Chain A
Amino acid sequence: MIELCRTVERKGLNPFDVDVKSLLTRLRRMLEEARYVEDIVMDAETLYRIALLIAFQGRWLRDKASALFIDHQLVAVKLAMADNESLAQAFLRSWRPIVRLEQLTAYKARLGMEHFLNLPSINREKSKLPSPREISVSEIEEMMRAGLLEKAWFEEKLKEVHAELLDQARRGQVDYWQFIAGEDLEESVARAYAVSFLVTNGKVDLRVDPLADKKTLVVLDETEDRGETRSLAVAIDEEILREKKRERQSGENSREG
């Protein structure tokens, strides 16, 4: 009886072909005669399978209703009699091919992130990568002497960028890309780095409009509540920077003219 119920469900056969009433009568008789626990457990399993079969009957009726109660044998006959072109035409009526095959859901993206965060950290010794701890104080001093690292530079840069932003904000909204675009990539990265610190300190807010694909910088009062905050990664796009630089230059030229 268990195997019968399983087969009907697994193969999608008509569940109404099974006489549930007679199955239950047989099961009742078997249950009355059962003497051992194993038999009773088996009877319980059978009852569970019959219950699943009844649930399948309900589902089968719903499926049939959604398929307009068209029997599969009728479909098979129709298919055998129709020519390929008519079948293709019928299919085209119901077919809307997808434009691209790439797909990602928010759920899958989160699973991916969890997987990434659970990956073991890199073994620096094995892969012969220098450890950050290996940089000594003397090396830092050496880098400062060589002009690669400047202690005061960053604080000054931060103040300078903040002042510039305050000035531009008085004239209206400040476009993020327009603001960070410097004379070269190095300067643009430095400005973006400074802006990120101003945002973290709460002096500036970076507002993103995903629909218009626009990022705007807003100077905040110290008393202003920022509301809900979140992290945002912005990849430096050289193409956008070049475009913004061109826009700025053409604006300056037209003002001079």
Chain B
Amino acid sequence: MKIVEMLNSRLQPIGMQVKVVFEQPQRDDKIGEEDLERARFYITLAHPLSLSDVVGSGWRIDEVAALAAVISYVSSRGGKAPVNDVREMLQTKFPRWKAEAAIERFTRRGYLHISEDDVIYVGWRTRAEVDQRELLKALMEIVPTESEESTAASEDVSGGER
């Protein structure tokens, strides 16, 4: 752990940090040798990205929104939810083809994991990259806009045409 702390002190000035992901959720004061041996260590950004950074790195806004929706929904259900429920939830915002493509893409990228009995779990990459508690808090602070329903409806039409 000392090495991680030393590496962290080198990474912090350049805007990065070491993220330790344990196999089982840990309390900071109860980290054992074995936990560390089985843990995974990632270097992540230390500060939030801006929307323009994200768009510049190849993500689309609606793709990020879909990822936010899926992770916060699964997270609020204790880290797992049936695929059908997640798909239905996504279809309130996106056309069907887009919802299915998003689930498939996020699974491939490691953000989600789908079990054989069609249950979606939070994937390893979500555990490494996303502070799920902070995401739910941020979601609750969103002030809803009126134009959303019409956006979803118009996207649904365009999705149907495809």
Question: Are A and B genuine complex partners?
Answer: yes
Binding site for B on A (CB under 8 A): 10-12, 59-60, 63-64, 66-68, 70-72, 74-76, 78-100, 103, 105-107, 211
Which residues of chain B are near A98, meaning CB under 8 Å?
19, 42-44, 125, 128-129
Are A105 and B39 interface neighbours, CB within 8 A?
yes
Q: Does B153 contact A (CB under 8 A)?
A: no
* Pairs A–B under 8 Å by Cβ, sample size 14: A12-B81, A59-B78, A80-B93, A81-B145, A90-B142, A92-B64, A94-B133, A95-B129, A95-B131, A96-B19, A98-B42, A103-B40, A103-B42, A107-B37
List residues 14-53 of chain B with CB under 8 A from any CB of chain A.
16-17, 19, 37-51
Are B42 and A70 interface neighbours, CB within 8 A?
no
- Across the A-B interface, the 9 shortest Cβ-Cβ residue pairs: A91-B68, A90-B138, A81-B144, A84-B65, A94-B134, A87-B65, A94-B135, A63-B78, A88-B64
Chain A, residue nearest B84 (CB): A11
The number of chain B residues with a CB under 8 A from chain A is 66
Are A85 and B65 interface neighbours, CB within 8 A?
yes
Are A81 and B140 interface neighbours, CB within 8 A?
no
Q: Could you tell me the distance between the alpha carbons of A94 and B68 in the complex, rounded to whole angstroms?
A: 10
Are A72 and B77 interface neighbours, CB within 8 A?
yes
What is the interface of chain A mostly: helix, strand, loop, or mixed? Answer: helix
Q: B116-139 toward A: CB 8 Å interface, digit per residue (1/0)?
A: 010100000100111111111111
Which residues of chain A are near B136, meaning CB under 8 Å?
67-68, 70, 75
Chain B, residue nearest A60 (CB): B78
Binding site for A on B (CB under 8 A): 3, 6, 16-17, 19, 37-51, 54, 61-62, 64-65, 67-69, 71-73, 75-82, 89, 92-93, 117, 119, 125, 128-145, 147-148, 151
Known interface pairs A12-B78, A97-B129; A90-B6 also in contact (CB < 8 Å): no
Smallest Cβ distance from A5 to chain B, in angstroms?
A: 15
Which residues of chain B are near A68, meaning CB under 8 Å?
133, 136-137, 140
Smallest Cβ distance from B130 to chain A, in angstroms?
A: 5
Chain B, residue nearest A73 (CB): B76
Are A92 and B50 interface neighbours, CB within 8 A?
yes
Which residues of chain B are near A12, meaning CB under 8 Å?
77-82, 119
Which residues of chain B are near A86, meaning CB under 8 Å?
142-143, 145
Are B93 and A72 interface neighbours, CB within 8 A?
no
Q: Could you tell me the distance between the alpha carbons of A64 and B47 in the complex, rounded to whole angstroms?
A: 27
Chain B, residue nearest A68 (CB): B136
Contact of A92 among B49, B76, B145 (CB under 8 A): B49
Chain A, residue nearest B81 (CB): A12
Q: Could you tell me the distance between the alpha carbons of A211 and B3 in the complex, rounded to whole angstroms?
A: 9
Are B132 and A67 interface neighbours, CB within 8 A?
yes
